[in-house]
């Protein structure tokens, strides 16, 4: 019966110390959480850590969560912030180690995975996306990869829906610019600017 | 094409994180509330990096504590869990140096003026000296007592505290007067001040050998460095006023 409960019911049960109810929520949203994290950190292990941590933090913060609000964007906001922190932390760690000339084991600081894309066009498009600023990438991931509506994206990134629309437009234009400049064999019209809405 | 690409994106299989999440939730029912330190603990600047030597055994609890420290409790402080160095290879850390060599000795009044705050103290004890460090964004007052240093920073909201610890270093979550705190011990660490942009300030790296207790009191970040036993450090910390 529990898996059929809506989010609000599961959240209410979780607040009443029903751990199993939270387990249902975790399993309901772990795929979207993991995939969002993976797009940002580009490493399956790190994405798993981020996902687990996000649910733990969500659980701890659930007391202040309003049952009338949708759970998914709230969770994805935590996921996104943690994933971005992980990326920044990696850069800092890397810089710190470099500055120190620190001798580390080769396997101890895994590089982001190489994502197995089938065609050269896919690889070019992915590289083009990865060259975008962080803010642009995040809104494109949420809109086109996670297929979130703009109002949910607004909740995830903590901005007004109108801002999301303009950010998506800006991100698409930038993607188009990167493609034109660096991957001209990908047609500019395919950058996706007209696809969102 | 972007939508088509996105729909066919080759994600790895989604791991089932539910068991791990539920285990952690069950283990830590009384964790400090998120945000308790978030705004306040965003001042002074440190980076702690452990060395290869004397790396302690890694317990799940220690890892958990590091993760906690890294995350909710001290947002604004950067605590990096660094990879374990290769045993036997030299690590280019500077020789340990007394903070007195890097700081300026000041009067208590000068220290108060510099930090814009009253100085805390340990009842029944008088500081042997008072030092001021200001290479980073927030001035730091260090009161030297017999056997330990008491650091005090008034937070200002800017994230400029960075810590790096080797995976496996002892980092224990503690409570000081009802507030979350951390005990970091086990081998050497490196301390570096960062500027307002979060960039390490050249020449401020300092190797630290002594165990450290960190906690927060209102808008003050406090730190005791030099007491070897956690129980003793906690007893001193809980008396700090």
Model confidence pLDDT, tens digit, residues B194-231? 777 666 676 676 777 788 898 878 778 889 999 999 99
Q: Are B203 and B197 in contact (CB under 8 A)?
A: no
For the ranges B48-62, B122-136, B151-165, B181-195, the lowest mean pLDDT is seen at B48-62
Residue B16 and residue B148: Cα distance in Å, rounded? 47
Give the mean pLDDT of A40-69: 90
Q: What is residue A151's predicted lDDT score, i.e. its pLDDT?
A: 94
Q: What is residue B46's predicted lDDT score, i.e. its pLDDT?
A: 31
For the ranges A73-77, A151-155, B130-134, the lowest mean pLDDT is seen at B130-134
For the ranges A74-78, B24-28, B162-166, B178-182, the lowest mean pLDDT is seen at B162-166
Task: Nearest chain B residue to A110 by CA: give it.
Answer: B83
**Residue A124 to residues A42, A130, A143, B61, B146, Cα–Cα distance (Å):** 16, 10, 20, 43, 63
What's the fold here for domain A1-105?
Rna Polymerase Sigma Factor; Chain: A (1.10.1740)
Contact B17 A105 (CB under 8 A): no
Q: What is residue B162's predicted lDDT score, i.e. its pLDDT?
A: 59
Task: Nearest chain B residue to A108 by CA: give it.
Answer: B83
Query: Could you identify the residue written with the tokens 């696809």?
Result: A195
Q: Please give the residue that has the higher pLDDT: either B33 or B183.
A: B183
Residue B145 and residue B139: Cα distance in Å, rounded? 19
The contacts of residue B185 (CB under 8 Å, 6+ apart) are B169, B170, B172, B211, B212, B230
Q: Quote the percentage of chain B above a pLDDT of 90.
A: 27
Return the ∠ at Cα A168 (arms to A164 and A171), rounded to 5°. 135
**What residues does CATH 1.10.1740.10 cover in chain A?**
1-105
Q: What is residue B86's predicted lDDT score, i.e. its pLDDT?
A: 54
Give the mean pLDDT of A171-183: 93
Check whether B107 has a pLDDT greater than 50: yes
Residue B165 pLDDT level (bands cut at 50, 70, 90): low
**What is the value of pTM for the model shown?**
0.56
Q: What is residue A140's predicted lDDT score, i.e. its pLDDT?
A: 96
Please say whether the structural domain A114-197 has been given the CATH code 1.10.10.10: yes
CB contacts under 8 A, B 26-45 vs A, are 26, 28, 31, 33-34
* ipTM for the whole complex: 0.83
B200 touches chain A (CB under 8 A): yes
CA of residue B141 relative to chain centroid, distance: 16
Per 3-state DSSP, what percentage of chain B is helix, strand, and coil (rounded to 5)? 20, 30, 50
The minimal CB distance from B82 to the residues A22, A52, A97 is found for A97
Which two structure tokens, joined as six digits, stand for B83?
Answer: 């990879």
Give the mean pLDDT of B166-188: 74
**What residues does CATH 1.10.10.10 cover in chain A?**
114-197
Residue B40 pLDDT level (bands cut at 50, 70, 90): very low
Residue length of chain A: 197
Residue A44 and residue B12: Cα distance in Å, rounded? 7
Contact A30 B86 (CB under 8 A): no
Residue A102 and residue A32: Cα distance in Å, rounded? 37
The minimal CB distance from A19 to the residues B9, B25, B200 is found for B25
Query: What is the average pLDDT score of chain B?
Result: 70
B5 touches chain A (CB under 8 A): yes
Residue A155 and residue A85: Cα distance in Å, rounded? 18
């Amino acid at each position: 019966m529990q898996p059929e409960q809506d989010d609000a019911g599961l959240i209410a049960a979780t607040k009443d110390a029903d751990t199993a109810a939270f387990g249902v929520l975790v399993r309901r949203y772990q795929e979207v959480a993991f995939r969002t994290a993976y797009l940002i950190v580009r490493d399956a292990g790190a994405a798993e850590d981020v996902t687990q941590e996000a649910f733990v933090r969500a659980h701890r913060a659930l007391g202040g969560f309003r049952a009338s609000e949708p759970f998914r964007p709230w969770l994805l906001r935590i996921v996104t912030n943690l994933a971005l922190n992980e990326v920044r932390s990696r850069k800092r760690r890397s810089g710190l180690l470099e500055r120190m000339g620190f001798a580390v084991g080769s396997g101890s600081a895994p590089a982001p995975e190489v994502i197995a894309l089938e065609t050269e066009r896919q690889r070019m498009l992915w590289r083009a996306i990865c060259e975008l600023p962080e803010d642009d990438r995040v809104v494109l991931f949420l809109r086109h990869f996670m297929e979130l509506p703009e109002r949910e994206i607004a909740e995830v990134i903590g901005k007004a829906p109108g801002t999301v629309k303009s950010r998506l437009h800006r991100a698409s234009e930038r993607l188009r610019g990167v493609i034109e400049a660096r991957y001209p064999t990908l047609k500019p019209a395919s950058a996706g600017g007209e696809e969102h809405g | 094409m972007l939508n088509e690409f996105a729909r066919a994106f080759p994600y790895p299989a989604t791991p089932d994180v539910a068991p791990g999440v539920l285990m952690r939730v069950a283990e830590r029912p009384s964790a400090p509330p998120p945000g308790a330190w978030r705004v306040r603990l965003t001042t002074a600047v440190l980076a702690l990096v452990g060395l290869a030597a004397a790396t302690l055994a890694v317990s799940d609890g220690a890892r958990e504590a590091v993760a906690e420290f890294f995350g909710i409790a001290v947002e604004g402080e950067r605590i990096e869990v660094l990879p374990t160095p290769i045993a036997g290879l030299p690590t280019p850390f500077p020789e340990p140096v007394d903070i007195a060599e890097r700081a300026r000795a000041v009067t208590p009044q000068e220290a108060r003026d510099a930090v814009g705050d009253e100085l805390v103290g340990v009842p029944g004890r008088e500081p042997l000296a008072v030092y001021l460090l200001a290479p980073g964004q927030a001035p730091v007052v260090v009161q030297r007592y017999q056997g330990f240093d008491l650091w005090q920073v008034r937070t200002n909201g800017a994230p400029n505290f960075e810590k790096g610890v080797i995976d496996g270093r002892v980092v224990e979550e503690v409570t000081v007067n009802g507030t979350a705190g951390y005990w970091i011990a086990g081998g050497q660490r490196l301390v570096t001040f960062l500027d307002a942009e979060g960039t390490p300030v050249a020449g401020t790296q300092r190797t630290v050998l002594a165990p450290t207790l960190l906690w927060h009191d209102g808008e003050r970040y406090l730190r005791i460095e030099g007491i070897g036993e956690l129980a003793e450090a906690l007893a001193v910390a809980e008396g700090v006023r």
